[in-house]
């Protein structure tokens, strides 16, 4: 017989990594180990990358954040970043921003700006640059352009959506699941499809 007990703490950490919203409702007895665990992860990130992390945030240890000098990542208060997320600065996040598992963001030269209380579902792709497409040279040798991407406050971006460089998404807009956003989205608009088209208004809901 074995007296080994199940490793509930390791499983709980894994659960938090993939469902990070649970971190913000942990009981005190769980925060006794979860808070120091998060403090260590965040302190290390700020030591090795040009990252600023606000108060009461959660960052999964399986997330991949890269921010060279001049390509900073700024994370506001009470933000959460789930497992298998790839972030390459420059990226600026407001307060209470959620980035769920499997997202991939690159700020290019100009950056990605995400407003307060915005929620981004899993496997969303946001790339703030583009390649030239001339046939005169291979695609990987083409010049890169960058305009930047701005996402407003209280925006909901559905799973597996894609947002291309130069797009601005207004406050309180909704981007549907699997949507490809190639043009600006007005405030309160609900968009869906590929390419994204307006199908409704949040004020009517």
Return the active site residues: 131
Half-sphere exposure of 125 (CA within 13 A, CB side): 10
32: region left, alpha or beta (phi > 0 left; psi from -120 to 50 alpha): alpha
Alpha-carbon gap, residue 78 to 95, rounded angstroms: 6
Q: How many CB atoms sit inside 10 A of residue 51's CB? A: 20
Write the DSSP assignment of 155-172 as a string of letters.
Answer: -EE-TT-EE-TT-EE-TT
In a 10 Å sphere around its CB, with 0-12 CB exposed, 13-18 middle and 19+ buried, how is residue 55 labelled? exposed
């Amino acid at each position: 017989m074995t007296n080994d007990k199940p490793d509930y703490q390791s499983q709980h950490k894994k659960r938090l990594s993939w469902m990070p919203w649970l971190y913000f409702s942990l009981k005190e007895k769980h925060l006794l180990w979860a808070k120091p665990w998060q403090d260590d992860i965040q302190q290390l990130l700020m030591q090795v990358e040009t990252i600023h992390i606000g108060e009461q945030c959660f960052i999964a240890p399986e997330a991949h954040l890269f921010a060279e000098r001049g390509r900073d990542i700024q994370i506001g208060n009470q933000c959460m970043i789930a497992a298998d997320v790839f972030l390459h600065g420059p990226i600026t996040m407001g307060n209470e921003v959620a980035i769920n598992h499997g997202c991939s963001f690159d700020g290019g030269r100009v950056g990605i700006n995400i407003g307060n209380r915005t929620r981004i579902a899993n496997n969303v792709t946001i790339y703030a640059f583009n390649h030239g497409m001339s046939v005169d040279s291979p695609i990987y040798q083409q010049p890169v352009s960058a305009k930047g991407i701005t996402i407003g406050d209280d925006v909901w971006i559905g799973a597996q959506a894609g947002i291309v460089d130069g797009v601005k998404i207004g406050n309180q807009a909704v981007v549907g699941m699997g949507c490809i956003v190639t043009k600006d989205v007005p405030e309160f608009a609900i968009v869906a499809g590929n390419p994204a088209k307006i199908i409704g208004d949040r004020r009517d809901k």
